[in-house]
Chain A
């Protein structure tokens, strides 16, 4: 019975400040702002709202709604950061001073995301930013303006910015993963005369599967939860016309910015977001729990 002492403080804290609030949020999501029970009404309202999904008249520039923005985020950010990190990890094996380069790239991971968002103001500013200046230099005038002032460049600019911040993660994980693969594998493949590409698809990538699973899981989680970056770079509306609005921000706005607050809808957004993160992780979680 004394052994309960090992668990008690942890269980108490988790129950009170994590588990209970999770269920309480689900409860809140079933009620309207005036306190009447509406069942899944808030979910219907949220999912039907142009804030969440708005593809009328597509193709058109953003806003497409938070859900679509998060999806676009995953669609662009996941492959880019994953393969960029993997590719760098492979290349850097043969580079002198690789640890310095890794350090430089990993700084993005330790930077507070809110600062990351603020950084976007400077990076993409039409007058002082390095990105518009670069496009001015190479003569692409349409991209030589302030990126955060235009809906399309705002959304994609923030996504690219988040790739810049996050690539350090996959780089580090893959680098560590590569050190666990014995050199013999490659030697053997080389003897067989396998091409570099085939070596990658047949040997390296399969051996890195555990790392890939981890990177994919953590990255999707990060993309779904993205909030600080957008908040720092834009405003509570998600920037120009809401072009960079995301689920996390939508929830915050509904509950803590707008007046009167719509707590029910906010809770519905939060629950919906949680369901998405669960779906994204349930399949891979077992790899992270040591049997």
Chain B
């Protein structure tokens, strides 16, 4: 009996907490589809309730291009480093050469560097290459920036794969590349799924690099920057900003809802398995 009561209390508490946890999102959502004057005093007052999608329309017209740019940046910004890093991760896991471990550690150490640490030279390099204010600059940068953690992740994963199949293939005369493409890559797919969702999310969510390399140009601004640019120098529309925020977070949240297990595998895998 005592146990039952305890269990009920825990259930009520846990569920109440989960709902309370979502409150801030509900507030944002309310601000996005109800006129602001109507929610003065709190969105939970429904005395007046006139929902409208107007703000989503105007938000989309302002950040629609940005959402498109985000896709243009995030898709190659995910695929390129995945491929490049898997190659290197395989190399680090299977080939041995003199400075391998030092090289590997250096790359891993770079993972902890804050984005601010590269900002000034990156800005100058991109300017010099004529890539400032282009989508390409962000693809390049994100590709490079994602490498250290993906290399670490893939190396850890590949190290845990059994060597026997590869060795058997080598005995049959398969080249390194054949082994990589035919045997390792297919076996690495589950790990690549985790890498893909995380890298995609990080690129999509990135703000610092985006505002560094494309602070104001419509043709390259990803959604996160376009969203901030809806805040005028002198005025902003809170309803529109809320609607825009919802649009920007929709993609990563929806992806998370669908591909949840990859996220968890990604978040946990490279940290705990190792």
Contacts and interface: CB of A to CB of B under 8 A. Distances in A.
Nearest to B222: A112
A274 B117 contact: yes
Interface residues of B, number: 100
Nearest to B19: A104
A128 interface: yes
Contacts of A270: 114, 116-117, 119-120
B15 interface: yes
B187 interface: no
Interface in B245-259: 245, 248-249, 252-253, 255-257
B21 A104 contact: yes
B238 A121 contact: yes
Contact of A17 (B14, B140, B204, B242): B140
Contacts of A277: 112-114
Contacts of A17: 118, 122, 125, 140-141, 144-145
Contacts, number: 288
A25 B123 CA distance: 11
Q: Is the interface of A mostly helix, strand, loop or mixed?
A: helix
A127 B43 CA distance: 10
A113 B270 CA distance: 23
Given A10-B87, A173-B268, A22 B31 contact: no
B135 to A, nearest CB: 16
A289 B108 contact: yes
B90 A6 contact: yes
B152 A289 contact: yes
Nearest to B88: A10
Q: Is the interface of B mostly helix, strand, loop or mixed?
A: helix
A11 to B, nearest CB: 8
Contacts of A274: 113-114, 117
A89 to B, nearest CB: 11
B195 to A, nearest CB: 14
A122 B242 contact: yes
A41 interface: no
Given A94-B10, A251-B119, A164 B42 contact: no
Interface stretch (B22-30, B47-55, B162-170): B22-30
Contacts of B173: none
B272 A210 contact: yes
A221 B95 CA distance: 31
Contact of A110 (B13, B95, B228, B253): B253
Closest 8 CB pairs of A and B: A17-B144, A21-B118, A6-B91, A21-B121, A10-B88, A24-B121, A112-B205, A290-B274
Interface of B: 7, 10-11, 13-15, 17-19, 21-25, 27-28, 31, 36, 39-44, 81, 84-85, 87-88, 90-91, 95, 104-110, 112-123, 125, 140-141, 143-145, 147-148, 151-152, 155-156, 159-160, 175-177, 180, 201, 204-205, 207-208, 212, 215, 224, 227-228, 238, 241-242, 245, 248-249, 252-253, 255-257, 260, 263-264, 267-268, 270-274
19 contacts: A5-B177, A6-B180, A17-B125, A22-B118, A109-B267, A110-B205, A112-B224, A114-B224, A115-B248, A122-B28, A128-B36, A130-B24, A172-B268, A180-B272, A227-B116, A232-B228, A248-B114, A252-B119, A277-B114
